[in-house]
């Protein structure tokens, strides 16, 4: 058994978790009063959001939510849906900190959790258990294990109390976000929160993730480029997911690989995305780069973490194939009709708003209309989409929340675009999309 790194105990009870947020609110309030008094004394007229979102308070919020883990840590990412690119910079900074600040459970708490899920003498049933997690995220942490038979496994252990606290955590953190004044009152925040709760409850159900993992693995069987873990059912419970361990380098390390490798990897991932939406109708919707690894020895792409896997309804799948065709044909009228049917725009929206949404859709598919290899590394596509999204939101007053399925499709595609940009990939996107075009 290896030694673990120090960690902070996850608060498990409802009172303890609410108390953490209450204490956080108290410290922030004290800071607001102190700063506000100081600014008034110098003749300035402070704003509430300006007093709340100071560097010190941003650090306090991020650190406290990272300590609580669970929904309290993840809600901001789910509210943003796109990693915060369309949110005010103060809130985006909190989200960025939360993506990197997960802390592992201390060893004593981990032993207690596994004793409850497996058996009190569980350590005697394994040859090796690494108490230092190989990954720690918002809902659970992953450990490397060797069984008595010599099999190498990855064991994902859910933080205690996370599942029971999802609804309360989401509501409490949403209250902090509302108080900050950073989210306009026109935004249908409750719809987003309800979707976030449903998504988090699914991610916290490890039996569901095990089924999704097995289903996705079966669908990918013909595509040997991908390697996907296999569930070990005998060690899997509601809050412990056991699967085969697969080693590889983080995909972002491919920035130093040859152009050919980078292009081939991204082409495979883009093709897989189209298969997910149009063929599998099963989308692994979390674009976190930690979910992708690469093994140079046999040129394998390893796919991890299927907690955020979503079934894509027939109507959504067909609608997005129509959007893809409309973009390829530069048919703005067809795109507008399809966007209306999908709920991306509403009948109540003005012609200017509808045109702006269609323009964003067309721009997002620029690479599909490009002849030959599209150079994502030298493209400012992401900047253009960001600017167009901000203009739609603020200049055209477009505070509309699309259906959850659409949001998760956009989120996954946006993550792939960012990865392609980071890797400097060049791909013939028209050829990649060809199987799904007329």
- Give the count of beta carbons closer than 10 Å to the beta carbon of residue 399: 15
Predicted confidence at residue 82, as pLDDT, reads 40
| Mean pLDDT, rounded, for 79-105 | 53
Give the burial string for 335-356 (b: 16+ CB within 10 Å, else e): bbebbeebebbeeebeeebbeb
Q: Does the reported pTM lie above 0.85?
A: no
Distances, alpha carbon 282 to alpha carbons 253, 295, 314, 433, in Å: 28, 25, 11, 18
User: Tens digit of pLDDT for each residue in 191-236?
Assistant: 777 877 888 888 899 999 999 999 999 999 999 999 999 999 999 9
User: Higher confidence at residue 359 or residue 32?
Assistant: 359
**Which residue is catalytic, options 195, 263, 286, 405?**
286
pLDDT at site 189: 67
pLDDT at 36: 44
Count of CA atoms in the C-beta half-sphere (13 A) of 286:
22
Q: Tokens for 71?
A: 């929904």
Q: Which residue has the higher pLDDT, 191 or 267?
A: 267
Residue 407 has a pLDDT of 86
Residue 52: pLDDT over 50: no
User: What are residue 426's phi and psi, to 5 degrees?
Assistant: -125, 120
- Secondary structure (3-state) at 425: coil
Q: Tell me whether residue 286 is one of the annotated catalytic residues.
A: yes
Q: How many CB atoms lie within 10 A of CB 191?
A: 13
Instruction: Read off φ and ψ for residue 437, nearest 5 degrees.
Output: -110, 150
Residue 292: pLDDT above 60? yes
Which ranges in 69-188 belong to alpha helices (H)?
A: 70-80, 89-100, 107-117, 162-180
pLDDT of residue 41: 45
**CA 11 – CA 66 distance, rounded (Å):** 11
């Amino acid at each position: 058994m290896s030694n673990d790194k120090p960690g902070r105990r996850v608060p498990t009870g409802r009172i303890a978790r609410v108390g953490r947020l209450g204490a956080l609110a108290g410290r922030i309030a004290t800071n607001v009063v102190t700063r506000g008094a100081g600014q008034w004394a110098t003749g300035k007229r402070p704003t509430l959001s300006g007093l709340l979102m100071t560097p010190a308070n941003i650090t306090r919020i991020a650190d406290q939510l990272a300590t609580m883990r669970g929904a309290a840590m993840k809600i901001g990412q789910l509210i943003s849906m796109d990693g915060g690119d369309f949110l005010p910079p103060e809130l985006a900074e909190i989200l960025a900190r939360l993506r990197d600040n997960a802390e592992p459970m201390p060893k004593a708490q981990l032993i207690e959790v596994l004793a409850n899920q497996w058996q009190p003498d569980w350590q005697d049933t394994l040859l090796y258990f690494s108490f230092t997690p190989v990954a720690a995220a918002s809902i659970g942490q992953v450990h490397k294990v060797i069984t008595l038979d010599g099999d190498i496994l990855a064991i994902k252990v859910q933080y205690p109390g996370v599942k029971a606290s999802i609804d309360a955590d989401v509501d409490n953190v949403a209250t902090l976000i509302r108080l900050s004044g950073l989210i306009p009152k026109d935004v249908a925040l409750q719809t987003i929160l309800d979707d976030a709760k449903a998504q988090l409850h699914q991610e916290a159900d490890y039996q569901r993730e095990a089924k999704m993992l097995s289903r996705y693995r079966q669908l990918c069987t013909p595509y040997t480029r991908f390697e996907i873990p296999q569930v070990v059912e005998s060690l899997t419970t509601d809050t412990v997911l056991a699967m085969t361990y697969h080693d590889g380098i983080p995909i972002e390390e491919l920035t130093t690989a040859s152009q050919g490798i980078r292009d081939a990897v991204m082409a495979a991932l883009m093709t897989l995305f189209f298969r997910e939406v149009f063929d599998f109708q099963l989308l692994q919707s979390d674009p976190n780069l930690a979910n992708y690894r690469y093994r140079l020895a046999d040129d394998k792409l390893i796919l991890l973490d299927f907690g955020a896997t979503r079934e894509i309804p027939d109507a959504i799948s067909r609608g997005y194939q129509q959007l893809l065709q409309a973009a390829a044909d530069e048919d703005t009228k067809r795109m507008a009709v399809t966007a209306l049917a999908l709920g991306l725009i509403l009948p109540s929206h003005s012609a200017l708003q509808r045109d702006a949404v269609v323009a964003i859709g067309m721009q997002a598919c620029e690479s599909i209309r490009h002849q030959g290899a599209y150079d994502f590394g030298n493209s400012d596509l992401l900047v253009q989409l960001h600017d167009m999204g901000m203009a739609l939101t603020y200049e055209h007053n477009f505070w509309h929340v699309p259906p959850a399925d659409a949001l998760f499709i956009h989120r996954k595609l946006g993550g792939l675009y960012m990865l392609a940009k980071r890797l400097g990939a060049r791909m013939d996107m028209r050829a990649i999309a060809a199987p799904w075009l007329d």
